[in-house]
Structure 1
Amino acid sequence: MSRNDRSSGKNNRPSGSRGDRTSGGKQSGRQGGGSMKKSHARGNAPIKPKMEKSPLSNTEGIRLNKYIANSGVCSRRDADMYISAGNVTVNGKTITEMGYRVKLEDDVRFDGRRLNPEKPEYILLNKPAGFFVTGNPEKGGRTVMELISRATSAKVSPVGRLDNQAKGLLLFTNDGTLAKKLAKPKNGIRQIYQVTLNKNLSKEDLENIAKGVYIEGSKVLITSISFIDDKPHNEVGIELYSIKEHIVTRIFKSLGYEVESLDRVVFGGLTKKDLARGRHRNLTQQEVINLGMH
């Protein structure tokens, strides 16, 4: 067997390959698509088509399908499907390019809803008095972020506010969609407070509050208000849906009372049950679903 024959057998070349050269076989081999050594002749070198770079392409950041998958919308494979279908926009532009990369600060939307590439986190804190909810307005003042610093590495923010000396339930999340929904005045969210006043609340004022109180020309509707059983009449429970800042304090102040202690004991369907003061816990999946229905 010749050297060419042995080479042909070793590589299992099909008919028309280099190992079966006949008269004109070299030309036939090229046209037949057989395995051939790359020509060194400059004139025979394959011409690569020039690819134009998409004006939307970039080489930094995270792949768009991974960004979408991280947000919890769907798997990477499904994300590719939605991208190609035109369901995804980046900074206002529809992206259909596979492998497109985005940065964390980009505005990525799926069917119009902005996505967060971090895993959604929902943390409930039973806030003690003496902690600021936002900022650090006093030298040496402490914030609620210190109390949940070990709960998550995600960038979570409080939903709503509680005064420095106020106590009770405070929700933190990085789910911007839910946070905005709960913060909309027209939606409101059920809240129950236990309030201690500087003096006994008269029955007449209690009834007036129950009818609704006008604050800055706008009526604040009260779901219910009552004295707390076996407690002095300077301690009351009040339920409302308003999310206006300092609303409970302002209600009582409008009638000549000062709030000495304020404790939010219910927020949405969340309660302080088994959650000691200063402690926090993650919400269950069902609790998150229930909050989203408000």
Structure 2
Amino acid sequence: MAKERHGKSRVKPSGKNAGGKKPFDKKKSSVGKKPIDGKKSSDDKKSFEGKKPFDRNKPNSNYKKKAAPQRKSSSNPNEIRLNKYISNAGICSRREADMHISIGSVTVNGKVVTEMGYKVQLTDEVRFDGRIINPEKATYILLNKPKGFLVTTKDEKGRKTVMDLVAGATTARIVPVGRLERQATGLLLFTNDGELARKLTDPRQRVRKIFHVELDRNLSQADFNKIKDGLNIRGDIHGVDEISWIQGASKREVGIKVSTGSNGLVKAIFEHLSYTIARLDRVVFAGLTKKDLPRSHWRELNAQEVINLKNL
């Protein structure tokens, strides 16, 4: 037998388990790990015992839903908070309105109001920086007035008024601008725009009006010239812008354009000359005409007409 080196025999390890490692046992699993087959262990099952499954349709019994706060209805439907009144008028937002109220920019019926939450009636006069405002949308109605209707909002004797003719025109609180005699006919404007109404009735604004006048007899040339030159009535000189006979009609009918004085000026002129007016028809008012507007009918002004009125 051959001698082995160093006097010892060496046995070489062979196979995969070389190096002294123990073979892997698939039956054993590491401690604390879940089985690889995805099934719950008996310990996991015990942890869920006695618990009810979660139902998404059922609210948590410990959760109490808060009831939504209910708004208190106003005891008076005609009352409105001052800041909302100003906001509805298109001046500014409610928050900005509160600021203007606090610094005294708003008056109600002539008195400065600085109280937050103050309520006003829709019939109150509210001014912002001295200008009357309205919480309703600005409305402008033109009527071709017939005979027999009073130009007023209400008559104590129960007689017919022009408000009866425009009752279905709008829900806004409109009023007639200026006046016309009960038996007079023609153009009459209604609006809830107080600022424009005052402007159109101010004699200093020289708002143009044209009347078709029919007299009880022919107008003489002498009286025609007197009217054209101006009349002294009770110490005041009253004149007209223009006067002319109606083309194709008798000398009883004339057209008169005025832009000063009250609506009673035309009547005062002819009464001073001992004429009786048989028919008085206002055919033009502040640039508005009766075109396509039959007697007793009304229409809303268009946007351009409103702009024209405000630019007079």
TM-score, L = length of structure 2: 0.68
2:274 equivalent to 1:256: yes
Out of 120, 131, 143, the position equivalent to 2:149 is 131
Q: Distance in 2 between matches of 1:274 and 1:74?
A: 38
**C-alpha contact 1:213 1:251 (8 A) present in aligned 2:** yes
**C-alpha contact 2:215 2:252 (8 A) present in aligned 1:** yes
Q: Aligned AA for 1:198? A: D
Q: Distance in 2 between matches of 1:105 and 1:125?
A: 24
1:106 Cα offset (Å):
4.0
- Which runs of 5 or more structure 1 residues have no equivalent in the other structure? 1-58
Out of 217, 224, 233, the position equivalent to 2:242 is 224
Q: Relative to structure 1, is the Cα distance of residues 220 and 137 closer, same or farther in structure 2, using a 3 angstrom cutoff?
A: farther
Match of 2:112 in 1: 93
Q: Relative to structure 1, is the Cα distance of residues 211 and 183 closer, same or farther in structure 2, using a 3 angstrom cutoff?
A: same
- Which runs of 5 or more structure 2 residues have no equivalent in the other structure? 1-74
Per-residue CA distance 1:198-241 (angstroms, 9 max, x = gap): 11111221111011123332222211000111111111100001
Match of 1:103 in 2: 121
**C-alpha contact 1:183 1:243 (8 A) present in aligned 2:** no
**C-alpha contact 1:124 1:170 (8 A) present in aligned 2:** yes
Out of 285, 291, 298, the position equivalent to 1:273 is 291
Q: Relative to structure 1, is the Cα distance of residues 80 and 162 closer, same or farther in structure 2, using a 3 angstrom cutoff?
A: same
Q: How does 1:51-66 map to 2 (within 5 A)?
A: 61-66=79-84
Q: Relative to structure 1, is the Cα distance of residues 105 and 249 closer, same or farther in structure 2, using a 3 angstrom cutoff?
A: closer
Q: Distance in 2 between matches of 1:138 and 1:198?
A: 30
Match of 1:233 in 2: 251
SS in 2 for 1:131: coil
The RMSD of aligned alpha carbons is 2.4
Aligned length: 234
Q: Distance in 1 between matches of 2:234 and 2:156?
A: 26
2:209 equivalent to 1:184: no
Match of 2:87 in 1: 69
Out of 218, 221, 232, the position equivalent to 1:203 is 221
Q: Aligned AA for 1:284? A: N
Out of 234, 237, 262, the position equivalent to 1:244 is 262
Per-residue CA distance 1:151-199 (angstroms, 9 max, x = gap): 1122221111111111100111122222222222322411000011111
